[in-house]
Chain A
Amino acid sequence: EIVLTQSPGTLSLSPGERATLSCRASQSVSSNYLAWYQQKPGQAPRLLIYGASSRATGIPDRLSGSGSGTDFTLTISRLEPEDFAVYYCQQYGNSPRTFGQGTKVEIK
């Protein structure tokens, strides 16, 4: 099973700042089938990025994904109030699909 390790665990930033979230896989992710999700308290996750760098429908271009192989990054160029949440990466190229443990982006 592919283990995904996200860092940092918590990111304390102010609105307008840049956020950089990391996701490292224990082995290469097949075809870069790596997704990023946002989850807010009491809500279901929302797909942000798939295929490592493709934005899902309706996702603003201040969010971007990059990386390949075992190292992936989610970047939020300028944090808006609605961006403060928990972010998870997921690989869906191998079975079992696995998720990282999450990075919380909180208001500083």
Chain B
Amino acid sequence: QVQLVQSGAEVKKPGASVKVSCEASGYIFIDYYMHWVRQAPGQGFEWMGWINPNSGDTDYAQKFQGRVTMTRDTSINTAYMEVSRLRSDDTAVYYCARGSEITGTTTGFDPWGQGTLVTVSS
């Protein structure tokens, strides 16, 4: 079955960086966009951007440009999302989510990874 498995929880100090991984299985990794979304405690969802695993092209939400980097390693079907210069308000659960097929029908995000809690605290 299609599955996304993320790396474990992280605790970071303000100003540090964090890199979250998302391993895909059950489908052809390079055929689908991968999105990253975060959810602060008790809050709604904030879309961060996507990566095209085939080309490596990215599109970041303006809010995160210059502070977020999305990459991938096609040899191990894994996407990565790194946030630099962390602040306390970056504390959130970070999700990867499979998007639309790159050359197919445009759909929603399905499935989502289990989420990675990133806590930023001094």
Contact = CB atoms under 8 A, between A and B. Distances in A.
A72 interface: no
A99 B108 CA distance: 12
Contact of A99 (B45, B100, B111, B114): B45
Contact of A47 (B35, B45, B108, B114): B108
Interface string A56-93: 10000000000000000000000000000000101011
A90 B44 contact: no
A12 interface: no
Contacts of B46: 99
**Which of A31, A49, A98, A100 gathers the greatest number of chain B CB atoms within 10 Å?**
A98
Interface of A: 31, 33, 35, 37, 44-47, 49-51, 56, 88, 90, 92-93, 95-102
